[in-house]
């Protein structure tokens, strides 16, 4: 298994779980739960493939949707939904979201580089892959996109894409350094959550 596939599968599994938790908290039926899992896990990858002009990986390979279905079933069997916390304060939800946004951002950057994108294309494709699924999920359920309300969420995605661009340029694109970047991005996101870090806002009255 290549580094790209490994990181993508980790992201799909994690995103499926966060989509499951999201849908259960919203009191969705089974179809609603599946759609939340599917969009959270695969929506960003679909958007990424459209941007770079690549055949949709999720629709030409069996593994992505299979992972979504297995994670849905596992989350139900092991009752991952039984903690009565709001989504914004659920450590499990925030952690799974952190894992998938970092994983998908790395994958987005890798695919963009494979398709000869410049640094702007790499960073923005990383963002699209990292947060695109969550945006589609939130739009479907008539919510303000999570990444626009969560501290350092989209920012981490952009930073991961930027860092990976230079990692690739200098030859640090093997599995070890990818895992270092993955751990770094996830830790920064969790610290931002715990310390409630946010980017500055502009006050329209000033």
Instruction: Report domain extents, the chain.
Output: 1-195
The closest alpha carbon to 8, from 116, 122, 94, 133, belongs to 133
pLDDT given at position 106: 95
Q: How many CA atoms lie within 13 A of 131 on its CB side?
A: 22
Query: Rounded to 10 degrees, what is the CA torsion of 33, 34, 38, 39?
Result: -40
The closest alpha carbon to 95, from 189, 23, 192, 161, belongs to 189
End-to-end distance of the chain based on CA atoms, in angstroms? Answer: 54
Q: Are 127 and 109 in contact (CB under 8 A)?
A: no
**Helix locations, 1-150, DSSP H:** 3-25, 30-52, 57-60, 63-77, 91-114, 119-140
Q: Cβ contacts of residue 119 below 8 Å, gap of 6+?
A: 162, 165
Give residue for tokens 């479907």.
140
pLDDT given at position 197: 80
Each of the 206 residues of the chain gets a pLDDT tens digit; together they read: 687 788 899 999 989 988 998 898 888 999 999 999 999 999 999 999 999 999 999 999 999 999 999 999 999 998 876 654 555 556 777 888 888 899 999 999 999 999 999 999 999 999 999 999 988 988 888 887 777 766 677 889 999 999 999 999 999 999 999 999 999 999 998 898 888 887 777 776 66
């Amino acid at each position: 298994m290549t580094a790209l596939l490994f990181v993508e599968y980790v992201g799909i599994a994690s995103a499926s779980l966060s989509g499951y938790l999201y849908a259960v908290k919203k009191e969705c039926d089974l179809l609603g739960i599946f759609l939340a899992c599917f969009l959270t896990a695969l929506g960003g990858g679909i958007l990424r493939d459209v941007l770079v002009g690549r055949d949709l990986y999720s629709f030409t390979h069996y593994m992505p949707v299979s992972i979504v279905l297995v994670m849905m079933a596992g989350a139900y069997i092991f009752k991952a939904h039984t903690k009565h916390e709001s989504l914004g304060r659920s450590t499990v939800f925030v952690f799974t979201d952190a894992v998938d946004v970092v994983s998908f951002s790395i994958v987005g950057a890798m695919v963009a580089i494979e398709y000869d994108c410049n640094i702007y294309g790499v960073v923005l494709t990383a963002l699209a892959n990292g947060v695109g699924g969550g945006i589609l999920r939130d739009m479907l359920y008539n919510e303000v996109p999570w990444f626009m309300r969560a501290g350092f969420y989209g920012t981490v995605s952009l930073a991961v894409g930027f860092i990976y661009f230079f990692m690739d340029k200098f030859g640090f694109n093997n599995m070890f350094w990818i895992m270092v970047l993955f751990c770094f991005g996830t830790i920064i996101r969790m610290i931002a959550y715990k310390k409630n870090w946010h980017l500055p806002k502009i006050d329209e009255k000033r």
